[in-house]
């Protein structure tokens, strides 16, 4: 395999928000996750300091909250002020004490120095309720809700720039699902009211790679939108938790660009590709395990729908398959960074998250280390890279039978400040090394960082820290006109080249 890189040809600059994250009031993501006043790790405001430090290390640029399906039955006024009622969330069939609300979310984002991204209730909510939320967060003092924020101890506006109208309201599983013609009217009115409260905000709206849904939405509300939201969970195991094999997960990597390509085409057809960008604001390899939550039959026994959610906490589930898939997805975002400006790994903490919390500390799952490598080692400029003679993984177990999948996924970037070139190279093979001939003009000092496990099923857990990035400089050998690389099996690699 040969990879030819031209550092002088910058294709586009990526937005750092493609490395964003997501939190929802589901299972232990908020309570017992990021927010746990009873924990010995809690800071003065109830946030787990160990989780905060881990999130700071991956420089989280933006967090989407409070959902997710949760938000389609959530009323934000229940979660502000001193008197917060206990409510029953119909999306997840759990009681919510509302101790973590808007102001706590803003505190979290300020601690992490990241942008807050609020998803509004377009299920049981109304356009007026959504615009009132903008008033509470963003107006200096005008109106009932801005004054309420001030009375709650926040004299300065929260200044929330990014807002989403709804979450998956196209799906029959969602509380307050809509038909496409109804949805376009809802978004149009909500956007109108929200922007009249604060014209500086940037709006997204729930969508999917469907022509009818998006066409109606964009024709009616496109002038008021800056983003279009799409989601992706490839290993759809909500009801069974039957995790796909490593081979099947590699087959999913062949589908990563499908949704982006479809939405890009529609935006281009409508002449909106320069105005509206894609926010892939929920994504993960594996769907969350919540049996009998979105089914027609709703059991009364919590052992059938609540207790099984604990299986999301089995750390052995999060292997090198998750890491390799996630790296391939981030590569896809970088290759499409001209149209994809935001993405949110779902979630950040617990469930299928990159960080797992327990009483005595945290576990950094394999996906956490992928983010750490990309955020801290990859550049902000996507540059031209041409790959030839890519080996193929034959007879990979895909959704439609056996299929061939390219063994290596690669993307090239450059750091605008230093001029360093940073390449992400993912070897999907479960057991074979892959030699790569890298051609690039000029010379430089190389540093290779590799993430891999003892096997494709390796994982991290309490007292088990098997999968961590390590310096792998011996895998890089200089040759005439470039370097010879040897990528280990089931590995994520970032090669940094510092010009001399």
| Dist. CA 76–CA 70, nearest whole Å | 11
The kind and range of the H/E element at 149 are helix 143-151
The distance in angstroms from the start CA to the end CA of the chain is 26
Name the β-bridge partners of 165. Answer: 120, 205
Residues in CB range of 495: below 8 A, 6 or more apart: 422, 423, 425, 438, 446, 447, 448, 449, 476, 485
Q: CB–CB of 162/118 below 8 Å? A: yes
- CA distances to 70, 163, 173, 279, 358 from 347, rounded to whole Å, are 13, 18, 19, 15, 16
Handedness of CA 81, 86, 91, 94 (dihedral sign): positive
Q: Which sequence positions are flagged as catalytic?
A: 168, 282
Handedness of CA 290, 292, 296, 300 (dihedral sign): negative
| Dist. CA 459–CA 444, nearest whole Å | 34
Q: CB–CB of 170/178 below 8 Å? A: yes
Q: CB–CB of 448/471 below 8 Å? A: yes
Q: What is the DSSP secondary structure assignment for residue 417, as one 8-state letter? A: T
Residues in CB range of 296: below 8 A, 6 or more apart: none
Longest dimension (CA), the chain: 71
Q: Are strands 491-499 and 421-427 parallel, antiparallel or unpaired?
A: antiparallel
The kind and range of the H/E element at 465 are strand 464-465
């Amino acid at each position: 395999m040969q990879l030819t890189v031209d550092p002088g040809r910058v294709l586009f600059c990526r937005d750092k928000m493609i490395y964003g994250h997501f939190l929802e009031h589901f299972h232990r993501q908020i309570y017992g996750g990021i927010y746990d006043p009873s924990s010995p790790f809690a800071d003065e405001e109830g946030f787990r300091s160990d989780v905060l430090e881990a999130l700071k290390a991956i420089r989280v640029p933006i967090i989407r909250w409070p959902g997710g399906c949760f938000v389609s039955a959530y009323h934000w006024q229940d979660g502000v002020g001193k008197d917060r009622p206990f409510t029953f969330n119909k999306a997840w069939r759990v009681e919510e004490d509302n101790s973590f609300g808007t102001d706590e979310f803003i505190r979290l984002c300020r601690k992490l120095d990241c942008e807050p991204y609020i998803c509004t209730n377009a299920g049981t909510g109304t356009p007026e309720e959504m615009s009132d939320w903008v008033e509470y967060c963003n107006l200096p003092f005008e109106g009932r809700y801005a004054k309420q924020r001030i009375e709650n101890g926040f004299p300065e506006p929260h200044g929330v720039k990014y807002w989403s109208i709804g979450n998956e309201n196209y799906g029959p599983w969602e509380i307050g699902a809509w038909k496409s013609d109804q949805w376009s009217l809802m978004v149009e009115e909500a956007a109108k009211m929200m922007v009249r409260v604060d014209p500086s905000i940037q709006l997204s709206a729930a969508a999917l790679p469907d022509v009818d849904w998006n066409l109606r939405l964009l024709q009616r509300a496109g002038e008021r939108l800056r983003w279009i939201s799409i989601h992706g969970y490839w290993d759809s195991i909500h009801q069974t938790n039957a995790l796909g094999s490593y081979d099947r997960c590699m087959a999913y990597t062949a589908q990563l660009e499908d949704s982006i390509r479809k939405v890009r085409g529609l935006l281009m057809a409508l002449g909106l590709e320069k105005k509206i960008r894609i926010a892939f604001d929920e994504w993960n390899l594996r769907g969350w395990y919540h049996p009998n939550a979105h089914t027609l039959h709703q059991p009364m026994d919590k052992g059938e729908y609540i207790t099984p959610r604990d299986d999301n906490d089995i750390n052995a589930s999060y292997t090198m398959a998750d890491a390799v898939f996630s790296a391939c997805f981030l590569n896809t975002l970088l290759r499409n960074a001209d149209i994809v400006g935001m993405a949110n790994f779902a979630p950040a903490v617990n469930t299928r998250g990159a960080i797992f919390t327990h009483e005595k500390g945290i576990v950094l799952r394999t996906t956490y280390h992928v983010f750490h490598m990309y955020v801290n080692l990859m550049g902000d400029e996507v540059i031209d890279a041409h790959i030839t003679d890519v080996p193929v993984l034959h007879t990979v177990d895909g959704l439609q039978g056996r299929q061939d999948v390219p063994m290596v996924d690669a993307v090239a970037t450059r750091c605008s400040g230093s001029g360093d070139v940073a390449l992400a190279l993912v070897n999907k093979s479960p057991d074979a090394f892959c030699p790569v001939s890298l051609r690039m003009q000029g010379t430089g000092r190389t540093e290779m960082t590799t993430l891999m496990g003892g096997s494709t099923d390796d994982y991290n857990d309490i007292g088990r820290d098997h999968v961590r990035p390590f310096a792998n400089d011996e895998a890089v050998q200089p040759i005439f006109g470039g370097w010879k690389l040897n990528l280990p099996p089931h590995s994520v690699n970032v090669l940094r080249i510092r010009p001399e």
